[in-house]
Amino acid sequence: MTQPLLTGIAIGGFRSFGTPELQRMAPLTKVHLLAGPNNSGKSNVLQIAARSLPKLRAQQGFDLDNSDIPIGAAAEERHFRLGILLRLTDEQIEEASGRSDPQFARAVRELFQGPTFASDVEEAIWLEMTPNEGQNPAWLVNGDQVADVGSAIDQGRRSRRLQRVSELMVGEWGNSDEQNAARILNQIVRASNLMEQLPPVAKIGAFRRITDAEEIIEGEHDGAGLILRLARLQNPSFDEPENRERFSRINKFVRRLFDDDSAEIDVPHDRSTLLVRYAGEWLPLENYGTGLHEVIVLAAAATVLSGHLVCIEEPEIHLHPTLQRKLLRYLAKETDNQYLIATHSAHLLDSELASISAVRLEEGNTIVTAALGPKEIAAIGAELGARASDLVQANSVIWVEGPSDRTYIRHWIECLAPELVEGVHYSLLFYGGRLLSHLSADDPAVEEFISLPRINRHFTLVIDSDRPRAGARIKPTKQRVKREVQALTGHEPWITAGYTIENYVPPALLRDAVGQVHPGAHCKWAGDRYKDPLVSKQIKGRSSQVDKPVIAEYVIARWDEVKPWPLDPEVQVKRLIRLIRAANDLP
């Protein structure tokens, strides 16, 4: 699935959603996480999505139970409202009016500038639907929105605009602004096929277990009937060959789970259980731990379904953090559904794979806000009991001496593995390598530095050798840091083959960069690996130090091809890439 099936959903007048304003969740990507503490209202979002969206899609009536009505809400907040994010493009306006006229399209969009329609998603408005209490049609556009059409236009122009647009779009106009606004809104809803385009919805509860079932129960995806569903995928009928491919995707996931290229699942002929092959042995799934049992149930259910909005309650239950991340990646990359996931696991807050809404309970009401960046995600993590550093730090960390080292290493990684993204798959952090030159090997500051990276074992260091000649020994402080880090992580730090990181730059390119960044200056360095290329004695016509970070940016902008590699960076960068891939569960 290249586009999400549902771009936004909003709720008002349901259980803990008792505020006058609808609580909006948008934009929804393929995987959207509802993150927050227990009893904050996450499950209510899944409940209303699973119950009301199918009714709206089928244009059937929808009634609330007494237990669904917000407690203590004022009368005007007690009626249920469901918000859907609706694209309002020139093409859709043309479809609704039959007019291919950009000026007319602008005039129509100006009618939807009021607060109830406002959206942060480009060319989209919020549409609020409310059940029609057993009447026909079963759902209506909320009356508050009808009143909001054209509210940003002054009263005199508003009436004329509504009348004119209604005439051109519907072929008739009414005697009041309300009539014309309702006609325009209803015509846009009809032309957009909003109801028909809503996805079918499936819900997977928090209690998941494969159980004996002699038949498939529609709507049940917590484990009952799953063996029969998998049997259909494993041995499809002649006219469903795509099911075999779906079954192979589940086995691909199982191989990643077990880190075993021969691992697979199989449905035996009697369909009494699910067999799992691991390390050459076939055993029933129930012989494995609860975590593996649950993650296979989730992955299998998500693969059996197709083109659905799948609402999942707390997939992290019984799952190790590594299994949680593997499951999230499988849902995002290997299935064709969209997912709305309620969670209080900080390990699932992966901004690369999912969009996130923070769900909180304030004065008895659920409040939803978008978590768009590390600051918001860290705030959610704090509420979930996790440290902010655990969330905003990438899975793999490369500690470097300064900004120019970061520039070069990031460029080399991009050249060899462009799919790896800084800030997502890895971070480049500064440790101020020059400080190591002024410390002894047993200095307390060295001990403190070595202990800092213990929050993330997937890390390594890049250290300038500072060797002035061939055969010179690395200073004791750097040798100790190398030993300690290697013992802590199993990864040997990268000590540069030359004096510093700039020794890896082709001499002609570095000399050109110095002259361009510092007009009048000339770099004498000719490629000697044991001389610092940018030390003052190598620069003519300039007494002060050169700006190394700016020179680095100039160099990489003109360094289209890394090869031929000077010295050993190709070997070292490939080691970094293997570390990053391992930390991110990438092949």
Question: pLDDT tens digits for 398-418?
Answer: 888 888 999 999 999 999 999
Residue 40 confidence (pLDDT): 92
Residue 455 confidence (pLDDT): 44
Residue 433 confidence (pLDDT): 52
Classify the C-alpha dihedral 148-152-157-161 as positive or negative: negative
> How many H helices and E strands in the chain?
19, 20
Closest CA to 180 of 229, 147, 220, 206: 147
76/110 Cα distance (integer angstroms): 28
16/368 Cα distance (integer angstroms): 11
Q: What is the pTM of this model?
A: 0.69
Residue 1 confidence (pLDDT): 45
**pLDDT-derived band of residue 440, with 50, 70 and 90 as boundaries?**
low
Mind listing the pLDDT tens digit for each residue in 251-279? 988 888 887 889 999 999 888 888 999 88
**pLDDT-derived band of residue 2, with 50, 70 and 90 as boundaries?**
very low
Residue 71 confidence (pLDDT): 78
Paired tokens of 141: 């556009």
Region 1-7 average pLDDT: 67
482/474 Cα distance (integer angstroms): 10
Contact between 19 and 333 under an 8 Å Cβ cutoff? The reply is no
**pLDDT-derived band of residue 439, with 50, 70 and 90 as boundaries?**
very low
298/153 Cα distance (integer angstroms): 50
Q: Is the pLDDT of residue 425 over 60?
A: yes
409-435 burial, b at 16+ Cβ within 10 Å, e below that, comes to bbbbbebebeebebeebbbbeebebee
Q: Is the pLDDT of residue 477 over 90?
A: no
**pLDDT-derived band of residue 394, with 50, 70 and 90 as boundaries?**
low
Contact between 263 and 340 under an 8 Å Cβ cutoff? The reply is no
- The whole-chain average pLDDT of the chain stands at 85
